[in-house]
Amino acid sequence: MIEVSKIDEAAKRLEGVALKTPLQFNEIMSEMYGAHIYLKREDLQLVRSYKLRGAYNLISTLSDEDKSKGVVCASAGNHAQGVAYSCKALKVKGTIFMPETTPKQKVRKVELFGADWVDIVLVGDTFDDCYEAAVEFKDSNSLAFVHPFNASKVMEGQGTVGKEIWDEIQDADVILVPVGGGGLAAGVSSYLKTKNPNIEIIGVEPEGAPSMKSALSKGELVKLDKIEKFVDGAAVKEVGAKTFEVCKNTLDDMVTVPEGKICTTILRLYNEEAIVVEPAGALTISSLGLLKDRLEGKKVVCVVSGSNNDIERTQEIKERSLMYEGLKHYFLVKFPQRAGALKEFVNYILGPNDDITRFEYVKKSARQAGPALVGVELLYPEDLEGLLNRMKEWNPDCQRINDNPVLFEYFV
261 is catalytic: no
3-state secondary structure the chain: CCCHHHHHHHHHHCCCCCCCCCEEECHHHHHHHCCEEEEEEHHHCCCCECHHHHHHHHHHCCCHHHHHHCEEEECCCHHHHHHHHHHHHHCCCEEEEECCCCCHHHHHHHHHHHHHHEEEEECCCCHHHHHHHHHHHHHHHCCEECCCCCCHHHHHHHCHHHHHHHHHCCCCCEEEEECCCCHHHHHHHHHHHHHCCCCEEEEEEECCCCHHHHHHHHCCCCCCCCCCCCCHHHCCCCCCHHHHHHHHHHCCEEEEECHHHHHHHHHHHHHHHCCCCCCHHHHHHHHCCCCHHHHCCCEEEEEECECCCCHHHHHHHHHHHHHHCCCEEEEEECCCCCCCHHHHHHHHHCCCCCEEEEEECCECCCCCECCEEEEEECCCHHHHHHHHHHHHHHCCCCEECCCCHHHHHHHC
363 is catalytic: no
Q: Which of the following is catalytic: 40, 51, 109, 213?
A: 51
28 CB-contact burial (10 Å; exposed 0-12 / middle 13-18 / buried 19+): exposed
Q: Which of the following is catalytic: 214, 305, 307, 321?
A: 305
Q: Where in the sequence numbering do the catalytic residues fall?
A: 51, 305
